[in-house]
Structures are given as structure tokens and as C-alpha cells.
Chains A and B, each alone.
Chain A
Amino acid sequence: MISPDNAKLPETDFQSPMAELIQETLALTRRLFIQLIRRPSTLIAGILQPLIWLVLFGALFSNAPQGLLPGGVTYGKFLGAGVIVFTAFSGALNAGLPVMFDREFGFLNRLLVAPLQSRSSIVLSSVVYITSLSLLQSLAIIWTAALLGYGWPGVSGILLVAITLLLLIFAVTALSLALAFALPGHIELIAVIFVANLPLLFASTALAPLSFMPSWLGWLAALNPLTFAIEPIRAAYRGPVDLSTILFHAPYGDVNGYGCLTVLMVLTIGLFFLIRPILNRKLA
């Protein structure tokens, strides 16, 4: 005899693996956003810092001789692209911090003991969170720069800006997450972030064009991924987007818009492949 209880379907739902992955990723992302909203200092500092750069640094060279910079732009206009990229970059560089704190405080164990469809959801939620946060901060800077009279890239320009920033954010987030799993604690992670931040800014074309630099620094800047993100955005601010124009004259040859985006793309994909073994080891 079949009892009515046995005839019923088991209570566990049969959700598709994809639905489960989305459910867990959204839940983890939601947590990060709740943290952000209830503790908004990160967000505020992340917007305030580049704004201060923009206003103070932009003013620093406002009386510099006309025509000094390539294209005869004012220093404020020149700086805008650099600050936008720097904002996205430093935001993404912090991506690993919440993960590191979860490791240290044992919250990660709560996630690891749960039957996650895929542990990539832990990484994925950080990527979604940091990407939206960095884009939001960059948008705030773009808008303020426009208010300060430093220009506006136009609709197709904004699209190029967004794509460029996304590629950079993905690459840097991957790096930061890998560090968050590879380093022993948050002190070390913060130290790395601190050490990486400013030198990468100075050794790029964010604050000055390649032509101003001694050749050794020019080499560094021409190899720096930030430069490959800054120049397309600067071009978007200069006028209609044409990716085949030469954007900068590196010591090893001229680089156009396609070249910049390709480099960023390769960097992003390469980094994701590079960090996979680390994530697999820690999240296996």
C-alpha cells in the first residue's frame, strides 16, 4: 500500500542549476550592497578622493602656458580622463577587501559549508558589486568634470568610456580577489593596495603626457595598463570616436584605439586564467 506521504513529491525544489547560481549570487551581492548602504564611508571616500584630485590638481597647472599639452587642451581637460580611470582603478583594487575580511572572520566558512551550485558565485558577486560601485563612482566624476567645464564625451564617447572602464575594472578586480585569497591577512592586502596605487598613477599618462617624461619613465608608462585605459577615454573627450587613430607614441611604436582595447581585453582574460588556480585551490 502506498501511503499518501510517499505519493507526494519530495519537498526539495528542483530548480535549474542556473537559477540556483543566480539565486546565490544575487543573495551575496545583496549583502555587499546592504553593507555599502549602511556603511557608506567607502562610497563617499571613493568619490571624494578623485574629486579633490580633479579640483586641486586641475587647478595646479591652470596657468600653465597655452599649447603646452598635445592638442592644446587645458590641464583640467587633460586630467579628467586620468582621474576617471584612477577612480575606477582604485575602486577595483579594493575588491578583495570584503573577501579578505570574510576569510579572517570566518564568514567564508559559512559560505563554504553551504551547498553552493558553484563557488564562483562568491567571486561573481564581488565582481558584480565592485563593477557597479566603480562605475557609479566614475560616473560621478564624469558628471562633476562636466560641471567644472572639463568637457563631456558625448553618447558614443560615454559608451567607449564604459567599455574601457569595464575592461580595466574586471582585470583589476581579478587581481585584487586573487590577492585576497593568496595573502595571509588584510594588513598585507592593504599594504599591497597602498604600494600599488600611487606609483601606478604616476607611471601612467594620467597626470602628464608621455612626451613630458624621461625615456625610462616613458617606457614604464607605455607598459602601464592604466595608460591603455586613459588614452581611449581622453580621445573620447577630444571628439568623435575613431578607434583607428593613433592615441599615443610609445617608445616601441604607435598605439591606436584598437590596440588599447585589445591590450586591456588580453590583460583581463589573461588575469582571469592566471587567478583560476588560486581560486580553485582556496575554494575547491
Chain B
Amino acid sequence: MSVIHLEELEKSYGDVKALSGLTLDVPSGSLFGLLGPNGAGKTTALRILCTLLEPDSGNVTVLGLDALKDPCEVRKKLGYVAQEVALDKILSGRELLQLQGDLYHLRSIERNARIAELIERLEMGSWIDRRCGTYSGGMRRRLDLAAGLLHQPQLLVLDEPTVGLDIESRGKIWQILRELRSQGTTVLLSSHYLEEVEALADRMAIIDDGRVIAQGTPGQLKQNLGGDRVTIRVREFSDEIESEQVRRVLESIEGVSQVVVNRSQGFSLNLVVEGEKVLPKLREELQKAQFELFALTQSRPSLDDVYLQVTGKTLMDAELETAGQRDTKLERKKTMR
């Protein structure tokens, strides 16, 4: 049974299309990773699902409820940890949690018991009574996670929960998310960190240009790729022209597929090799074409390969591409109500 069902979501901000036909199913009890570069539409999708934003068109079903018709019921059952943590600098962490508890209408005894429990669980005891303005990124994020968990939601949604965090806080948050899953809470998190999705998620979707382009378990997605991943360099630092020449050579070999020039890695070449005799053949052909083989690595497919396969670029390249074009001012505006 799916806890979240997003169907054909469309959303534009002015001329900028954030979602174009996004469809997603999150099964109950899963720890679901939504992987994609910045600007792919992850945050917009999560904001729609958390009833903060209305799509231009499409259906949103959360926990069996129509989130567009019955947003208030959805809010009661859902915890949301936003990307930009908005804390009140003047309040202490404990006061913020008390406020949050009152907004979710917890009885004060229950509220205080929950707060005490979460302070211990997230190891916030030594600083929870200090003002939020003094907190580090990791503290802020832990506090925000506690706020999202206060009312014991059946579904927890986190937008990039560990961006820019110290190792310790990240580990703590990962641990809590795993515990939640084992207790039966469905967790949906977005991330542009492959390692995070790899380490945590039992199901995942890759999102690009406002659409889901692949979903399944990480294992399935990797298996679907088939073949081994091979990275080749003909020289320590090649240029694009040379790499393109090598690409043409490689593409002519039987058993080699998906040859991609990887710009972010000094124009090395990524390819997929199927069959045992392909590699010797490859060495031979390169020699014939008068290319040296400076380096060759071979590995089983990783999530990065999955990403490369479905989008035609590496996640890092996608990040670099969007980094220059992001209009942070506009993004801030569009999240303002």
C-alpha cells in the first residue's frame, strides 16, 4: 500500500517550470530517498505533499487522504523537516518544542514527556535551554527533526536533512531515521548526496527536470543496468577533443555501451562493459588507434552509474550546471507566503 501517491504534478513559478508531470509512489513503512540535483524539483514536490503549496494540476494522496481537499487532516499525521531550518533565534530549543507541541494540540503532560524523550534521544540535553540563535547547523537540524517528530507522525518528510552537517550530527540523524523505519514510520527524504540515499534508503526515485525518471530499490536500479562500470583515461589530463576521439573508438567495440565523457573528472570516459572478452579487445583497439591506456578501473554499478544512465550526466555535472543558474532571490520569494 502506498502512503504517498503523487500523480502527474505540474507546477510553474512564472516562466520556470518546477514540476512537469511528476508521478511518485511511496510504499508504507519504507525509507524512501528522492535523489536529484539542486533545482530538479525535489523541494517543490515535498512542499506540495506537505500542503504548503498547491500544484497547478495533478493529484496528491497522502495517507489515504486527498491532500488538496483535506489538507488539515494530512497535516495532523505528517511531520515535515524543511530544508532551510526556520527557528526563532530568541526562543530556546525547549520553548520552540513547546510551541510546536501546542500547535499540534498535545496535552501539556504528554507534550513535556515527548519533549524530554526527544531531548534524550537526539542528545540535545546540554544545549536545549540555550537560545536557538547560538546553535550550530547540526544542532539546528537536530532540533528541527525533534520538532517534526513531536506529534509522532505516521509519515516523516525531510528536505535535504544533512546538507552541510558535521559527521556526528549526520550520523545521529541517520540513526534516528533508521530507528523510525524499524518502528514502522514511513520516511521520505530528498537528497542530492548519493551516499546518503545509498546508506539509508530501501526504495528510491531519481528526479530530474521535474519528473521521476527511475524508481525502485537501489539494488533493482543497479541490477537493471547490467554489466560492469569501467572508467578509462588515456592520459592523466585529456582534453575534450581527445576524449571524443577515444569515445568513437570505444563505441565501435562490441559489448561496450553507454560511453560518456565525464567532464567533471578531467574528461575521463565512463562506459559499460558486458562479457568477459570485451576488456582485452578494448585494450587492443585502443592500441591500434594509438591511444595509451593511462588508467582503467572496473566496478559493479553504483547509484552514480544509475544516475548517469537515466539522465545522461553525472550527478556532480548536474549540480555544477544548476549552480550557476540558480536565482536564490527568486527561490526565496517563491517560498514566501
Q: In this assembly, does A104 line the interface, its C-beta being within 8 Å of a C-beta of chain B? A: yes
Q: Do B90 and A113 touch (CB < 8 A)?
A: no
Question: CA of A63 to CA of B214 in the docked complex: distance in angstroms?
Answer: 85
Q: Do B337 and A109 touch (CB < 8 A)?
A: yes
Q: Do B99 and A28 touch (CB < 8 A)?
A: yes
Q: In this assembly, does B296 line the interface, its C-beta being within 8 Å of a C-beta of chain A? A: no
The answer to whether residues A109 and B86 also contact, given A13-B105, A28-B99 and a CB cut-off of 8 A, is yes
Q: Contacts of A15 on B, CB cut-off 8 Å? A: 105
Question: CA of A103 to CA of B86 in the docked complex: distance in angstroms?
Answer: 10
The answer to whether residues A24 and B102 also contact, given A108-B337, A114-B75 and a CB cut-off of 8 A, is yes
Q: Do A117 and B86 touch (CB < 8 A)?
A: no
Q: In this assembly, does B80 line the interface, its C-beta being within 8 Å of a C-beta of chain A? A: yes
Q: In this assembly, does B84 line the interface, its C-beta being within 8 Å of a C-beta of chain A? A: yes
Looking at A30-38, A70-78, A127-135, A243-251, the stretch in contact with chain B turns out to be A30-38
The contact string, 1 if C-beta is below 8 Å from chain B, for chain A 30-74, is 110011001100000000000000000000000000000000000
Q: Do B336 and A104 touch (CB < 8 A)?
A: yes
Q: In this assembly, does A111 line the interface, its C-beta being within 8 Å of a C-beta of chain B? A: yes
Question: CA of A112 to CA of B51 in the docked complex: distance in angstroms?
Answer: 8
Q: In this assembly, does A23 line the interface, its C-beta being within 8 Å of a C-beta of chain B? A: yes
Question: CA of A46 to CA of B76 in the docked complex: distance in angstroms?
Answer: 39
Q: Do B105 and A106 touch (CB < 8 A)?
A: no
The answer to whether residues A31 and B82 also contact, given A115-B72, A115-B76, A115-B105 and a CB cut-off of 8 A, is no
Q: Contacts of B337 on A, CB cut-off 8 Å? A: 103, 108-109, 112, 181, 282-283
Question: CA of A39 to CA of B89 in the docked complex: distance in angstroms?
Answer: 11
CB distance from B69 to the nearest CB of A (A): 13
Q: Do A31 and B88 touch (CB < 8 A)?
A: yes
The contact string, 1 if C-beta is below 8 Å from chain B, for chain A 95-116, is 0000000011111111111111
CB distance from A40 to the nearest CB of B (A): 11
Q: Contacts of B167 on A, CB cut-off 8 Å? A: none
237-265 of chain A: CB within 8 A of chain B: none
Q: In this assembly, does A217 line the interface, its C-beta being within 8 Å of a C-beta of chain B? A: no
The answer to whether residues A23 and B105 also contact, given A112-B337, A113-B80 and a CB cut-off of 8 A, is yes
Q: In this assembly, does B31 line the interface, its C-beta being within 8 Å of a C-beta of chain A? A: no
Q: Do B100 and A114 touch (CB < 8 A)?
A: yes
Q: Do B76 and A109 touch (CB < 8 A)?
A: no
Question: CA of A116 to CA of B99 in the docked complex: distance in angstroms?
Answer: 12
Q: Contacts of B147 on A, CB cut-off 8 Å? A: 110
Q: Contacts of B78 on A, CB cut-off 8 Å? A: 113
Q: In this assembly, does A27 line the interface, its C-beta being within 8 Å of a C-beta of chain B? A: yes
Picked from B52, B98, B99, the residue with its CB within 8 Å of the CB of A112 is B52
Q: In this assembly, does A190 line the interface, its C-beta being within 8 Å of a C-beta of chain B? A: no
Where chain A touches its partner, the secondary structure class is helix
CB distance from A124 to the nearest CB of B (A): 14
Q: Contacts of A104 on B, CB cut-off 8 Å? A: 336
Name the CB-closest residue of B to A23. B102
Q: Contacts of A105 on B, CB cut-off 8 Å? A: 86
Q: Do B50 and A20 touch (CB < 8 A)?
A: no
The contact string, 1 if C-beta is below 8 Å from chain B, for chain A 17-29, is 0001001101110
CB distance from A91 to the nearest CB of B (A): 19
The answer to whether residues A114 and B88 also contact, given A104-B336, A109-B52, A109-B337 and a CB cut-off of 8 A, is no
Question: CA of A171 to CA of B307 in the docked complex: distance in angstroms?
Answer: 57
Q: Do B86 and A106 touch (CB < 8 A)?
A: yes
Most chain A beta-carbon contacts within 10 A, residue among B52, B78, B99: B99
Q: Contacts of A109 on B, CB cut-off 8 Å? A: 52, 82, 86, 335, 337
Name the CB-closest residue of A to B78. A113
Residue pairs across A and B with Cβ atoms less than 8 A apart, 26 shown, are: A23-B102, A24-B102, A24-B103, A24-B105, A27-B98, A30-B99, A31-B88, A31-B99, A34-B90, A34-B91, A35-B88, A35-B91, A104-B336, A108-B337, A109-B52, A109-B86, A109-B335, A113-B50, A113-B52, A113-B82, A115-B73, A115-B75, A115-B76, A184-B333, A282-B337, A283-B337
Which residues of A line the B interface, CB within 8 A? Answer: 13, 15, 20, 23-24, 26-28, 30-31, 34-35, 38-39, 103-117, 181, 184, 282-283
Which residues of B line the A interface, CB within 8 A? Answer: 50-52, 72-73, 75-76, 78, 80, 82, 84, 86-88, 90-91, 95, 98-100, 102-107, 110, 131, 147, 333, 335-337
Other than A31-B95, A113-B50, give 15 A-B pairs with Cβ distance below 8 A.
A13-B105, A13-B110, A24-B103, A28-B99, A31-B88, A34-B90, A35-B88, A106-B82, A106-B86, A106-B336, A109-B52, A109-B82, A113-B52, A116-B103, A117-B105
